[in-house]
């Protein structure tokens, strides 16, 4: 009967935290798939009513070892696997220590690439970067705040940089700061993540997602502890009302409407950058 509850379960980490991106797959004894559902924000999974009999339930989640259980489905189509605890996979790199970390602009970079004339790319860097990372346990509760000095844009050609700073593009006189505040972080693999956040650019706020890779953590020659990350995303200029669109010929724009953003970030443990 539509709407009846089927197999239920609660997915947790060993520390008791919900695994909201876990997936429950249910098969019968012949291997035929009966259901496949994601966990919600509380780590709960619920299928539609299932055929009575014995079934196999497999719970998977990125960064965790899978768990399989056998369940008996009652005549009304319901069953339960209770609380399932997922153990983490062996991680390729040790996660950063909990606490505050400050972005080191001297060893970080932001590279933005836009299509030019439909055939080539223009690359711009933003050296005016600052920010703070707070690492929590579990790591999914960590947060990031960053600011970019919009006027620091550098393509290597002054006249072009001045145009990009003008009201045609960034309008740095009105909007001097590009800001990012994270809203959610979830694991996709042993050292890969999706970082969601709000980007404040050119007076517009939009939710964006970055593909994040954690490179590792270790001491530096100056007595500090560093962590390295790289990330990538794509933005549409018109989402941020940057709609300059000069045409060089029919259907060919001088500057593409989508830009690629690549970040290489180093962060130092602590509240402030040391003097080196």
Q: What is the pLDDT of residues 107-132, one digit of tens each?
A: 999 999 987 534 457 899 999 999 99
Task: List CB contacts of 51: < 8 A, sequence separation 6 or more.
Answer: 28, 34, 73, 77
Q: Judge if 112 and 69 occupy the same domain.
A: no
How high is the pLDDT of residue 4?
A: 67
Distance CA 143, CA 31 (A): 41
Q: Judge if 146 and 50 occupy the same domain.
A: no
Residue 91 inside a domain? The answer is no
Q: Judge if 110 and 76 occupy the same domain.
A: no
Q: For the chain, what is the mean pLDDT?
A: 88
Q: Given 56, 86, 116, which residue is the final one in a domain?
A: 86
In order, the DSSP letters of 171-206 are: -TTT--EEEEEEEEEEESSSSEEEEEEEEEETTEEE
Residue of 253, 215, 247, 250 lying closest to 231 (CA atoms):
215
Return the percentage of the chain with pLDDT > 70, whole number.
Answer: 90
Residue 186 inside a domain? The answer is yes
- The CATH number of the domain holding residue 78 is 2.60.40.10
At residue 163, the 3 state secondary structure works out as helix
Residue 275 inside a domain? The answer is no
Strand pairing class (252-253; 53-60): unpaired
Q: Judge if 76 and 106 occupy the same domain.
A: no
List the single range of 35-44, 189-198, 239-248, 256-265 with lowest mean pLDDT. Answer: 239-248
Evaluate whether 82 touches 10 at the Cβ level (below 8 Å): yes
Residue 119 inside a domain? The answer is yes
pLDDT at residue 208 tops 60:
yes
Q: Given 86, 114, 134, which residue is the final one in a domain?
A: 86
Q: Judge if 62 and 169 occupy the same domain.
A: no
* Residue 220 banded pLDDT, cuts 50, 70, 90: confident
pLDDT in tens, 34-77: 999 999 988 999 999 999 999 999 999 987 889 999 999 999 99
pLDDT at residue 139 tops 80:
yes
List the single range of 136-150, 172-186, 245-259 with lowest mean pLDDT. Answer: 245-259
The range of the structural domain enclosing residue 18 comes to 5-86
pLDDT at residue 91 tops 70:
no
* Residue 276 banded pLDDT, cuts 50, 70, 90: low
Residue 93 inside a domain? The answer is no
Q: Judge if 149 and 123 occupy the same domain.
A: yes
Residue of 92, 59, 54 lying closest to 70 (CA atoms):
54
pTM of the model: 0.70
Residue 265 inside a domain? The answer is yes
């Amino acid at each position: 009967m539509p709407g009846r509850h089927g197999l239920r379960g609660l997915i947790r980490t060993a520390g008791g935290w919900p695994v909201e991106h876990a997936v429950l797959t249910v098969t019968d004894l012949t291997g035929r798939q009966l259901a496949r559902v994601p966990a919600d924000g509380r780590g709960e999974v619920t299928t539609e009513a299932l055929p009575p009999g014995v079934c196999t339930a497999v719970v998977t989640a990125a960064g965790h070892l899978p768990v399989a259980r056998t369940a008996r489905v009652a005549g009304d189509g319901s069953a339960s696997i209770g609380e399932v605890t997922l153990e983490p996979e062996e991680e390729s790199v040790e996660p950063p220590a909990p606490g505050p970390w400050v972005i080191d602009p001297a060893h970080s970079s932001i590279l933005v690439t836009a299509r030019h004339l439909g055939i080539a790319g223009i690359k711009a860097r933003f050296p005016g970067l600052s920010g703070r990372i707070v690492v929590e346990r579990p790591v999914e509760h960590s947060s990031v705040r960053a600011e970019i000095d919009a006027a620091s844009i550098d393509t290597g050609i002054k006249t072009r940089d001045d145009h990009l700073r003008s009201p045609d593009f960034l309008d740095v006189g009105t909007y001097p700061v590009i800001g990012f505040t994270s809203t959610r972080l979830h694991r996709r693999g042993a050292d890969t993540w999706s970082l969601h956040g709000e980007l404040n650019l050119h007076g517009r706020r939009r939710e964006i997602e970055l593909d994040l890779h954690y490179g590792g953590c270790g001491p530096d020659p100056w007595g500090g502890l560093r962590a390295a990350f790289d990330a990538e995303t794509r933005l549409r200029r018109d989402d941020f009302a940057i709609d300059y669109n000069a045409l060089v010929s029919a259907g060919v724009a001088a500057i593409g409407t989508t830009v690629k953003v690549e970040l290489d970030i180093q962060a130092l443990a602590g509240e402030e950058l040391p003097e080196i």
